[in-house]
Structure formats: C-alpha cells, structure tokens
Amino acid sequence: MREWVPRDPPPRDQVAETGLMRRLLLSLDSISGSRLARIMAYALGIMFFLTIIFVPPVFGILLGWSKIFEILSYPDLLSRGVSAIIASFAIAGAVALLDLAAGLPMAWFIVRSRSSWASTIDTLANIPFVVPTVALGYSVLAFWGGSQGISGLLGSRFAFSPGWQMIVLLHFAFSYPVIVRVMVGALQGYKDLYETAARTLGAPTFTAARTISLPLLKSSLVAAFLLAFARSLSETGATVMVAGAFENGPVFISKARLAGQESPLLFVSFVLIVASSLFFIGVRVLAPRMRLPISAVRPRLEKRLSSGPAVGLRSLLTLLVFAVLVIIPSLFVVLPAVGAVADGTLQEAFSGNGIWSGYWQAVGLSYLVALAATALNVVAGLPVSVLIARKRGGEFVSGILDTMVNIPIVVPSIALGVSIGIFWGGATYISEFWLLIFAHASITYTYFVRSMVAAIESIPMEMEDVARTLGAKPLTVFRRLTIPLSKYALLAGAIMAFTRSVDETGATLAVAKRLVTAPVLMVQWVRGIAAASPSAIGLGLAFLVVTSFASLLVLTLATRRT
C-alpha cells in the first residue's frame, strides 16, 4: 500500500509562511493558465506592433498618395529622384559585397586563428559599431578628404573630395563590423565536425572550408549581406556629411525636406519603401535556392592555399584592409577632439555657453527618446518574441509575423520617418516628442525582438515540457525558465536598441521640425550652420563616442558569462 502524500498543497491562507509577494505571483501564475488571459497578452503585443511599429512606417506613405505622383509633372526632379534611388541600391549592393569579401576572412581569422591577437582584433572590429555614425562620417571626411588625413601623408593627389567615392568608403567602414559580428557568431556556433570529416577524407583546409563550411553557413552569409545592405541603404546623417553634390535616396529626401518640396520627398520615400521591402523578401525567398559553386576541384592549387605561408599572407592582407579602410578612418575624430582639450574648448563645453547649451539639450533629448523607445519595445516586444519563437499562433502566423518584424530595419529610416509623419499627421494631439519616440521605437523594435527570439529559440523545448508536467503554469515557466535563461539576450537587445536610437539621424530629420537630437545637431554643425569650430565639432562628437562606448562596455560586461 503506497503511503500517500497529498499532491496538492494546503490552501494558501492556512500556510502562515506564504508572503504577499509570493501570493501575488501565484495568483498571476494561475491566471496565465487561462487561455483567454494568454490570448489577450499576445493580442496586446501584436496590436502594439501593428499600430505603432509596422503600419505607420509601411503604409503611412499611402495617405499622401495624391501628392506622390505630382512629381511626374517635373521631369528634372523626377530624373534626379530616380537617379538618387538607383544610386542608393547600387552603393548598398556594392558595399555589402565588398564588406562580405573583406569581413569573411576577418571573421575566419578571429575564430580560427590561434594567435593571441585574435580576441583583441575581435574587440577592435566592433569599433565602427561603437562610434555613432555621425562621428564616423566626420572622421571619414577628415581622414580621406581633410588636410591632416591621407593627403597629409601621401600628398593631395590621394585626397578624396566629398562624393560617391567617399560615401562608399564611409559605408564600407560602418557595415564592416556587421559582417564580422554575424559571421563570428555563425562560425562560433558552427561545429567544425563537418570540416574535420572533410579533412579526414583528404581535403586540405581551404577545400574543406570552400566545399563544406561555406555552403553550410550560407544562411548566415545571406543574413550578414542583408544587414550590411540595409545599413548602407538607410544611413542619413553621415552620408549627408560626405556626399557633397552627389545624391542618394536619403540625401535627396533630406534636401527636399529642407527645401519644403513635398512631392519629390513623398515619391522617393514611397519608392524606397516598396523597393527595399520587395528586395528583402525576394532575397529571403530566393537565397535558400541559390547554390554556391562547390563542385570544381583544383587539388594542387588549394593545397598550396592551405599552407602556412598562404594563410599568413591572407591574414596579413585582411588585417591591412581592416586597419586602413576601417579602423583608422573610424578613429580619426580623436585628433580634433584632443585638440579641443588643448585649446580650452572643453571648459566652454562644460560651461554650457553659446552653442553648447543647445548641445546639452540635444543630448538630453536623444537619451530621453532612446530610453522611452527602448522601454516601450521591451515591454511590448516580449509577448511577440514568445509568439514567434514558440510558434504559438501556429507555423504560418509565426512565419508571417517573423517576416513582418524584420521589415522596419530594411526600410531606409528617413523614408520610414516620412511615412510615420504622414500617418500621424492628422492627429494633432500627438506632440513632436511622441512622434519622435514612435519613430525611434519603429526603428529599434526589430533589434530587440530578434535578439529575444534567438535566445528563446535556443532554450530546448524539453525544459519547458518538463516544467509543465511538474505543475508549472505558463507564467511560472516564463518567470523561472525563459527570462533567467535569456536575460543576457534581453539586456543585449535593449542596449542595441538604445544605442541605435541615439545614433539615428534620418527618421529624426523626417519627423521633427523643431526638436533637435544630438546627431542631427552634429550634422548641422558640420555643415557650418552654427559656426562651430573644428575643435568644438570634434569635442561634441567625442562626447557621443564616449557615451556610446560606455553603454557597449556595460553590454560586454553583462554578457560575459562567468
């Protein structure tokens, strides 16, 4: 006869030990057991996503439909607009491919080389991420075009003037770390089992990498390409700084905005939104069917390419490209900043006089907006993340949601801002401040949700299965398993969203007519609007760099697992 121990606990009020907090949690847990409660939670998340994040930027532009096609009666403007759009895609495509070619060997070096430099290089490769794009823009401008940069070293023949070449150099630099980050992550997660198997069959390392590893990493390569492409397509502030007379999409739009020309602005925004969405979806659909060329074999050549000296040469070349085209241009802003410390601009900055009062106001605004946008995204993004990661609505719904969530970062942020502005235009009770928050939330939502989805997907379903059979209600599982096991991703996602928001120029330019955020102010200073000295500009940018460094330092420390 089994000695029965009652399976259910005694009623809560009979147990003196149950504290208030615990009682509250247990009640919430029980509520989560009800299907209705859960559906409501997911529904709220989806509603937020649709009304704030997705519909305004993607469909808002349609509200200005009548004005969009007015441009057709101005053929010059039209052709300028169309050239600008083509230029955007051409540059983005070229930059993404070049970055792939340069970044892949770098990622390989970081993960596979046994050199002690590898982890240092890994950290350095993050620098263009850490430096806000406006600072990067100024840095690139100074290095490739200014008198102290390349022209100072090699002579003025080597200098570049603002134009499409400088845009390419700039975009190459800031999309590089995207490739490296994605590919390092992919390589670290990739078990070299298959490569080892290939080697035991006689393949030298180069052949094994080419025929086995690369095809297996294809989805990561495509993801990296798309991310780099999107970044190049979208960036506004820095591009404006280095574009000179050349126009790509964002440059055209910002000029049109300044000139008050509504139709060209709407037209180019509209085309950019449609074209980038289609491109993104197209690549996602076609890429799995693409096959990389892996059948050709040249044993002797590839054996030589696998040898020690060949690998050494390749690493050297990779590092050289990295140093000259990425790192040095990125850090060049240090020079004027250092100058600022020397010539007293630093004191002036802290005193808040003159241009500096506006500066600190702008910085305050940037952080406030970033904080609000991030907070909104974390709270509203969690249920959607769970829905996608655990396919709660079924495979089809989660798949669609997953694609939709990725669209806001594909659309150039300035076009996104234009669309949002039109969408909420009629709602005059919404202040510019809130418009800004909505716009920034739209842009950064994807970063948070993707991070959370990846983290939740990596938690084995079996753990949740066991927890449930042990009696845990859905909220209990979420509280005690999902969140603790994904807390790093949560933090990482939030910080990525935050820094991205602080960095943003395009959407701010589109949405805000009176409010000025820090990066937008910097662009104004560089274009000479506030008559700011080079030291002041350098210093202003340096502050932004430092705070960006600080938040990413917090991220690195928090995600370093002991």
Partner 1 sequence: MTSVRLAAVSKTFARVKAIDHVNLEISDGEYVCVLGPTGSGKTTLLRLIAGLIYPTSGGIELDGKPVTGLRPEDRSASYVPQQYALFPHMTVRDNVAFGPLARGFSPEESHRTADEMLRLVRLAHRATAFPHELSGGMQQRVALARGLAGRSPLLLLDEPLGAIDARLRVLLRYELRRLAKELAVTVVHVTHDQQEAMSIADRIAVLRDGRVEQFGRTSEIYSSPSSPFLANFVGGANFLEGIVVRRESGTALIEVAEGFSLTSSEKEHSAGDAVVASFRQERTSVLTNASTEENVIPGKLVSTSLLGVFMRCVVDTGRAGEVMAKVPLREALEQRLQDRIGHVVYARVARDGVMLFSRPERALAVELEAF
Partner 2 sequence: MPDVRVADVSKRFQDVVALDKVSLEIKDREYVSIIGPSGCGKSTLLKCIAGIIKQDSGQISIGDREVTVLPPEERQLGYMFQEIALFPHMSSWDNVGYGPRVRGKSRDITRRFVGQVMEMTRLKIGPRAYPDELSGGARQKTALARAIAAEPQLMLLDEPLGALDAHVRAALRYELKRLVTELELTAIHVTHDQEEAMSISDRLVIMKAGRVVEVGTPLELYLHPKRLFTQNFLGEANFIPGDVMECDPRHLTVSVNGWKLDLKGSGFIKGGTAVLAVRPESVILSPVHAQADSEWVGAVEEQMLLGDCIRTEVDLDNGTRVVSQTPNQGVQPVRGVGERVKVAFAAGGLIPYQFPARGLDSELSLDDLAGGT
Q: Which is nearer to partner 2, 514 or 561 (CB)?
A: 561
Q: Give least dist CB 302 to partner 2, A.
A: 9
Q: Choosing among partner 2, partner 1, none, which partner's interface includes residue 480 (Cβ < 5 to 8 Å by kind)? A: partner 1
Q: Give least dist CB 219 to partner 2, A.
A: 11
CA distances for 434 relative to 20, 51, 441, 512, angstroms: 37, 14, 10, 10
Q: Are 561 and 497 in contact (CB under 8 A)?
A: no
Q: Choosing among partner 1, partner 2, none, which partner's interface includes residue 476 (Cβ < 5 to 8 Å by kind)? A: partner 1
Q: Which is nearer to partner 1, 7 or 291 (CB)?
A: 7
Tokens of 506: 């395009």
Q: Choosing among partner 2, partner 1, none, which partner's interface includes residue 86 (Cβ < 5 to 8 Å by kind)? A: none
Q: Which residues bind partner 1 (CB under 8 A)?
A: 1-3, 5, 7-9, 12, 15, 17-18, 26, 33, 460, 462-463, 465-473, 476, 480-481, 484-485
Q: Choosing among partner 1, partner 2, none, which partner's interface includes residue 319 (Cβ < 5 to 8 Å by kind)? A: none
CA distances for 477 relative to 213, 452, 470, 474, angstroms: 37, 16, 11, 5
Q: Choosing among partner 2, partner 1, none, which partner's interface includes residue 15 (Cβ < 5 to 8 Å by kind)? A: partner 1
Tokens of 201: 């069959």
User: What SS3 state is found at 412?
Assistant: coil
Closest to 124 in 3D by CA, of 298, 299, 328, 424: 328
Q: Among 297, 316, 466, 550, which residue sits at the site for partner 2 (rule: CB under 8 A)?
A: 297
Q: Choosing among partner 1, partner 2, none, which partner's interface includes residue 198 (Cβ < 5 to 8 Å by kind)? A: partner 2
Q: Choosing among partner 2, partner 1, none, which partner's interface includes residue 8 (Cβ < 5 to 8 Å by kind)? A: partner 1
Q: Among 127, 203, 370, 492, which residue sits at the site for partner 2 (rule: CB under 8 A)?
A: 203
Q: Answer yes or no whether residue 284 interacts with partner 2 by CB under 8 A.
A: no
Q: Choosing among partner 2, partner 1, none, which partner's interface includes residue 207 (Cβ < 5 to 8 Å by kind)? A: partner 2
Q: Give least dist CB 289 to partner 2, A.
A: 13
Closest to 465 in 3D by CA, of 522, 360, 390: 390
> For the residues of 249-272, what is the DSSP string, one character each?
HHHHHHHHHHHT-HHHHHHHHHHH
Q: Which is nearer to partner 2, 7 or 114 (CB)?
A: 114
Closest to 362 in 3D by CA, of 512, 177, 256: 512
Q: Answer yes or no whether residue 310 interacts with partner 2 by CB under 8 A.
A: no
Fill in the DSSP letter of residue 352: T
Tokens of 345: 């601009």
Q: Which is nearer to partner 1, 15 or 72 (CB)?
A: 15
Q: Give least dist CB 6 to partner 1, A.
A: 8
Q: Which is nearer to partner 1, 284 or 392 (CB)?
A: 392
Q: Answer yes or no whether residue 200 interacts with partner 2 by CB under 8 A.
A: yes
Alpha-carbon distance of 349 to 362, in angstroms, equals: 13
Q: Are 519 and 366 in contact (CB under 8 A)?
A: yes
Write phi, then psi, for 460 (nearest 5 degrees): -60, 135
Number of H helices, E strands in the chain: 32, 0
Q: Per CB under 8 A, which region of 101-109, 292-300, 352-360, 480-488 contacts partner 2?
A: 292-300
Q: Which residues contact 123 (CB under 8 A, 6 or more apart)?
A: none
Closest to 444 in 3D by CA, of 535, 390, 507: 507
Alpha-carbon distance of 359 to 536, in angstroms, equals: 10
Q: Give least dist CB 114 to partner 2, A.
A: 10
For the chain, the residue count is: 562
Within 10 angstroms of residue 233's Cβ, the number of other Cβ atoms is: 28
Tokens of 166: 């400088």
Which positions from 105 through 124 interact with partner 2, judged by CB under 8 A?
none
Q: Give least dist CB 485 to partner 1, A.
A: 6
Q: Choosing among partner 1, partner 2, none, which partner's interface includes residue 216 (Cβ < 5 to 8 Å by kind)? A: partner 2
Q: Compose the 471-500 pattern: x for residues touching partner 2 by CB under 8 A, - for all others.
A: ------------------------------
Q: Which is nearer to partner 1, 40 or 259 (CB)?
A: 40
Helix-strand-coil split of the chain, %, nearest 5: 80, 0, 20
Q: Which is nearer to partner 2, 38 or 199 (CB)?
A: 199
Q: Choosing among partner 2, partner 1, none, which partner's interface includes residue 315 (Cβ < 5 to 8 Å by kind)? A: none
Alpha-carbon distance of 389 to 402, in angstroms, equals: 9
Q: Which residues contact 440 (CB under 8 A, 6 or more apart)?
A: 369, 370, 373, 501, 504, 507, 508
Q: Answer yes or no whether residue 216 interacts with partner 2 by CB under 8 A.
A: yes
Q: Give least dist CB 206 to partner 2, A.
A: 11
Q: Answer yes or no whether residue 204 interacts with partner 2 by CB under 8 A.
A: yes
Q: Per CB under 8 A, which region of 55-63, 192-200, 353-361, 473-481 contacts partner 2?
A: 192-200
Torsion sign over Cα 467, 469, 471, 473:
positive
Q: Give least dist CB 361 to partner 1, A.
A: 43
Q: Among 196, 219, 357, 556, which residue sits at the site for partner 2 (rule: CB under 8 A)?
A: 196
CA–centroid distance for 88 within its chain: 18
User: What SS3 state is found at 304?
Assistant: helix
Q: Among 75, 202, 484, 528, which residue sits at the site for partner 2 (rule: CB under 8 A)?
A: 202
Residues that bind partner 2 (CB under 8 A): 193-194, 196-205, 207-208, 211-212, 215-216, 295, 297, 299
